[in-house]
Amino acid sequence: MSEKQFEGKAAIVTGGTRGIGKAIVLELARRGCNVAFNYSKSANEAEALMADVEKLGVRAIAEQCDVASTEAAAAFVGTVKEAFGTVDYLVNNAGITRDQLILRMKEEDWDAVIDTNLKGAWNFSKAAIRPMMRNENGGSILNISSISGVVGMLGQSNYSASKAGMIGLTKSLAKEIASKKVTVNALALGLIETDMASEMNDEYREKILAMIPLGRLGNVAEVAEITCFMLSPAAAYITGQVIQPDGGLAM
């Protein structure tokens, strides 16, 4: 791997200020990529991350943006294209949970999760595809899905539906734009060490670990490494695929 394998390229990472998104932003920057990311409420974290990215010698854009808004997504992508001159990569990472059994789940909890996780990915993909199609070497879209979208999870009818929808979006879109040299893939992530995972009580954590053949949770650095591979020229012949970094949980 070239140390600056993405030099001169530009990426958009939605939900980039924390956890998995932040790790992806920083790894892309380390590899020479200019990176734009949005945030919902974490303005201070976004400002700090932008400074960290710029210290790595690349350019950064951070803006508040509601991914569920088609107009806001289009405006964000337009800003990136104007600033960086290109949009080469899109990582649809923004996501929320509102877990509850369906009989107790409120309609607004269903709508919020579907709008953020699934519609958000559709909005940004729709906006980013056109500039990617104009690139000589096309581009790459990576959707951050979950094993919840592969096998379903108790109390996550909204989240599982949104992540399964992202997988369907991945496969359909991959067929639509393959002729334009734009690849579309997804990561169906297992349990990753994030703030959310750290809130699990010890008993539940041990129960989950017993279900994972590799015996541990994944970490955000691993997800960032896989993301960079999937966006790189080394993965140029891979499209419409769902990769499961889950320690064997959903075999």
For residue 89, which amino acid is it? Y
DSSP, collapsed to helix, strand or coil, labels residue 162 as helix
Longest dimension (CA), the chain: 52
Check residue 196 and give its pLDDT. Answer: 72
Q: What is the pTM of this model?
A: 0.96
Kindly give, in sequence order, each residue whose CB lies less than 8 Å from that of residue 81, ignoring residues fewer than 6 positions away.
87, 131
CA distances from 152 to 66, 159, 250 (A): 26, 9, 10
Query: What percentage of the chain exceeds 90 in pLDDT?
Result: 90
Residue 242's DSSP bridge partners are 186
Place of tokens 């017993």: 210
CA distances from 14 to 28, 93, 106 (A): 13, 5, 26
Place of tokens 């997504």: 73
- pLDDT by residue (tens digit) across 6-45? 999 999 999 999 999 999 999 999 999 999 999 988 899 9
Delineate the domains of the chain, giving CATH numbers in brackets. Answer: 10-243 (3.40.50.720)
pLDDT at 84 over 70: yes
Residue 127, phi then psi, degrees to nearest 5: -75, -35
pLDDT at 1 over 70: no
The pLDDT of 175-188, averaged and rounded, is 98
Catalytic residue IDs: 159
- Tokens at 93, concatenated: 């990472």
pLDDT at residue 158, as a whole number: 97
182-211 residue pLDDT tens: 999 999 999 999 877 777 788 888 988 999
pLDDT at residue 2 tops 70: no
The alpha-helical segments, DSSP class H, found in the chain are: 19-30, 43-55, 70-84, 107-113, 120-134, 148-151, 157-177, 195-198, 202-211, 220-231
